[in-house]
Structure 1
Amino acid sequence: MSAWTRATPDELVAHLRAADPAALVHAIREASDESLVTLVHDVGRGRAVVEVVTSRIGDLAVPAQRDGVRGVVRWESGDPALAATVRFADGVVEPVTDAEEGPDLVVRGSLVQLLRLVAGQLEIAVAYLGRSLEIEGDSALALALAGLFAADGTAPLTGVPVDPRDIDPLDVSRALHGVDIDHLRSVLASGFRPVVLDEIFSRMPAHVNGRKAAGARITVGFRLTGRPDGEVDRYVLRLSDGQATVLAGEAADAVGPDDRDATVTCEAHDFLRLVTGHLSAITGVLRGQLRVRGDKAAALRLATAFDIPKAAA
């Protein structure tokens, strides 16, 4: 990597084109963010990186992951010179011009993020929530793009592919600092909504505080609004003797009002803020952001029975 940071733009293009794909991924993984910033510190060098890396996405991906990915993706990094467009079709990835075909997906991020993406080190959903990355267009294609590459810690090109649905609540909590509500609302009205909600709910049983939950038998339903189709996502969270279970969709609907202590209705982004420490349950109830039907005390006790990791401000 140090030799690349001293190369001219033309030399950098030659280095990146000639590099063995696995060795290139390994070099990116081993580099610090500071080293990668140095690598792309001017437009000429940045252009070399975006041009070659996007043209080599097919070489850097896990081969089996390319199959089934279809669409045109454009990566933008501020300066018009730092943009490139590629087409995915039938396992083939090839550069195209915007004049040939408009993109199905536009991703706006830094060149360091582009490098981290192909090295399997970018949590695309977390970056999108935190607004360090902007996504416009086909959300499913964005998730497929992130899942093309071998996850960090596994062998480049042949290792376990990144699972873009595997998001850490602590990383989400960190990412949400200072993010405006309108952005969170837009993310949770996109194709990333089920990714975020399902992952957060599925991880909740692992974060029960046994001492706080001891002896509690509470069942609370959640109705999460804000879907563009006007529908509501439904979940039920049960707490019994220190153990939690989660039901979703039709399984949640099967637990009727008489079998619940309470039902909480809120926008999905407010639920996300609640479980990541950016909204307190009491404040949410007092402000009307969390509407509770049934036993409010039971709903509040449920909220305090979980120790989901939260990042300090």
Structure 2
Amino acid sequence: MTDFSPESLASIGPKEFTQLVKSTPDSKIAEVMASDSRTKVLDEVFNRMPTLFRADRAGNTATVIHWILTGGPEGSSDTYETVVENATCTVTSSPVREPKLAMTMDAVTFLKVVSGSGNPMMLFMTGKIKAKGDLNLATSIPKLFDIPKG
């Protein structure tokens, strides 16, 4: 497999991404996600979200989700906003809408969730994911996206 870096993420598909996250030690992912490469990695992942969105499963879902990712350089965090409405999905790194659900987690946990290599319910139960707002929405997020199965 390839090295965990923004450059490698840009050139691989969802299944390869899953394998990359699974095969990279958490310490290495944490190191990259605490570096200047963090924004490039997160932007790459979030920019793919609309392409993995399953409009056929969304029905009349209209919601705003904030993803608060901790563990950045010098203890910083990043917030991304996912909006699902009118059978579309948009993402921004400049949140402007009130979320129905806000989830806080470190970047390693986030990458495990979006790659399908971490169990979101178990991560929530063990306190690695903190959720505020509509918890039913949190359980339905996986059905809205084509998340690769590790």
Is the 8 Å Cα contact of residues 220 and 238 (structure 1) preserved in structure 2? yes
Question: Structure 2: any 5+ residue segments left out of the alignment?
Answer: none
Displacement of 1:196 in angstroms is 1.3
Counterparts of 2:77 and 2:48, CA distance in 1: 21
1:305 and 2:140 aligned: no
Could you tell me which residue of structure 2 aligns to residue 286 of structure 1? 125
Could you tell me which residue of structure 2 aligns to residue 199 of structure 1? 44
Displacement of 1:231 in angstroms is 1.4
Question: Structure 1: any 5+ residue segments left out of the alignment?
Answer: 1-125, 131-142, 144-162
Q: Deviations over 1:116-148 (max 9, x none)?
A: xxxxxxxxxx83329xxxxxxxxxxxx8xxxxx
Displacement of 1:242 in angstroms is 2.1
Could you tell me which residue of structure 2 aligns to residue 275 of structure 1? 114
Question: Which among 190, 200, 211 is matched to residue 56 of structure 2?
Answer: 211
Show the 5 A alignment for 1:141-290: 166-168=10-12, 169-248=14-93, 251-252=94-95, 254-255=96-97, 259-290=98-129
User: Quick check: which has more Rg, 1 or 2?
Assistant: 1
Q: Deviations over 1:173-193 (max 9, x none)?
A: 111224322221112112221
Partner SS, residue 22 of structure 2:
coil
Counterparts of 1:164 and 1:186, CA distance in 2: 16
Is the 8 Å Cα contact of residues 239 and 302 (structure 1) preserved in structure 2? no
Partner SS, residue 35 of structure 2:
coil
Displacement of 1:165 in angstroms is 6.4
Displacement of 1:269 in angstroms is 1.1
Counterparts of 2:149 and 2:92, CA distance in 1: 27
Taking structure 2 as the reference length, what is the TM-score of the superposition?
0.88
Is the 8 Å Cα contact of residues 66 and 101 (structure 2) preserved in structure 1? yes
Could you tell me which residue of structure 2 aligns to residue 39 of structure 1? none
Displacement of 1:311 in angstroms is 5.4
Displacement of 1:304 in angstroms is 2.5
Show the 5 A alignment for 1:64-83: none
Displacement of 1:296 in angstroms is 1.0
Counterparts of 1:167 and 1:186, CA distance in 2: 21
Q: CA RMSD in A?
A: 2.1
Where has structure 1 moved over 4 Å in runs of 4 or more? none
Is the 8 Å Cα contact of residues 165 and 195 (structure 1) preserved in structure 2? no
Partner SS, residue 221 of structure 1:
strand
Taking structure 1 as the reference length, what is the TM-score of the superposition?
0.44
Partner SS, residue 74 of structure 2:
coil
Partner SS, residue 224 of structure 1:
strand
Q: Once the two structures are aligned, what percentage of the paired residues are identical?
A: 24
